[in-house]
Structure 1
Amino acid sequence: MTVRKAEIDDIAGLSELFVDFNGKESNLTAMKKQLEVISANPDYYVAVACDGDRVIGTAMGIACYDLVGDCNSFLLIENVVVLPQYRGQGVGKLLMQALEDFGEIQHCKYVILVSESKRESSHKFYESIGYSTDQRGFKKQLMKHV
């Protein structure tokens, strides 16, 4: 099992992961364009975990600028997903470590992530790797048709 930065050739594997994640097919043309843009931006890192050539997990980190205190950046993590048959085997830990390493390189002071309230097994996973729930997060949909 390896973890690396996502490449354009990973689109089909990423699409498979996202179907499991949100139950919808991805627009592969739009995904390819978006990954090209993201890959060119040094503030983004899309990690993929692979078993041989198969993409089995992914997570995206975004280094965000801040104006508070010493103005250190913070890391936003999104789209953490591992294929069901690979859960509990350390894939998520490897992905999260890759993003945290990226965050340290980007001089991020802390990490923010949001997980749907019904994903209790995900919450236990995040807590097991050092994430706390002592703060409350909020999310608001802006695009109603999404």
Structure 2
Amino acid sequence: MNPITIRKAESDDVAGLSELFVDFNGKESNLTAMKKQLEVISANPDYYVAVAYDGDRVIGTAMGIACYDLVGDCNSFLLIENVVVLPKYQGQGVGKLLMQALEDFGEINHCKYVILVSESKRESSLEHSPT
């Protein structure tokens, strides 16, 4: 078994990301639109799309967005969404590695807290959320 690696998503990752999102929402992605959107996101320093790999296979992803706030000291916060790990790899720490990569990104961007977006009907994601 290969060690799981995490890195920032690149345009060559769209096919692997598309496979993940089919598992996530049951729909095929428009690869051309996804590649274009990923290029836009990658050029924006407030976004970070982390990708988990097992060898050369995309097995997980999560997106972090450093958001500005107007409340209190106007500290930034990190919004995390599109967290997906292939079922075969769930429960093996892949999500934790993705979250660590995004927390590191948030720290670099001086984010003071994190908001995780999850669909309420996705019970499995709530089972693994920190208490």
Work out the CA distance in 2 between the residues paired with 1:116 and 1:31.
Answer: 21
The 10-residue stretch of structure 1 (111-120 or 12-21) with the greater mean CA deviation from structure 2? 111-120
Structure 1 runs, 4 residues or longer, greater than 3 Å off? 143-146
- Secondary structure of the residue aligned to 1:32 is helix
Work out the CA distance in 1 between the residues paired with 2:32 and 2:21.
Answer: 15
- Secondary structure of the residue aligned to 1:74 is strand
Deviations 1:34-56 (A, max 9, x none): 00000000000000000011100
Q: Which residue of 2 aligns with 1:52?
A: 55
Q: Which residue of 2 aligns with 1:8?
A: 11
Give the superposition deviation at 1:144. 29
Deviations 1:90-137 (A, max 9, x none): 000000111011011100011112212222221xxxxxxxxxxxxxxx
The 10-residue stretch of structure 1 (13-22 or 108-117) with the greater mean CA deviation from structure 2? 108-117
Structure 2 vs 1, CA of residues 144 and 116 (structure 1 numbering), >3 Å: closer, same or farther?
closer
Work out the CA distance in 2 between the residues paired with 1:5 and 1:42.
Answer: 12
State the TM-score, normalized to the length of structure 2.
0.91
- Determine whether 1:103 maps to 2:106: yes
Work out the CA distance in 2 between the residues paired with 1:22 and 1:56.
Answer: 15
- For structure 1, the 5+ residue unaligned runs are 123-142
Q: Which has the higher contact order (CA 8 A, sep 6+)?
A: 2
Query: Percent identity at matched positions?
Result: 91
- Secondary structure of the residue aligned to 2:121 is coil
Q: How many residues align?
A: 126
- For structure 2, the 5+ residue unaligned runs are none
Work out the CA distance in 2 between the residues paired with 1:114 and 1:144.
Answer: 14
Deviations 1:49-95 (A, max 9, x none): 00011100000000001111111101111100000101011000000
Work out the CA distance in 2 between the residues paired with 1:144 and 1:94.
Answer: 17
Work out the CA distance in 2 between the residues paired with 1:7 and 1:99.
Answer: 16
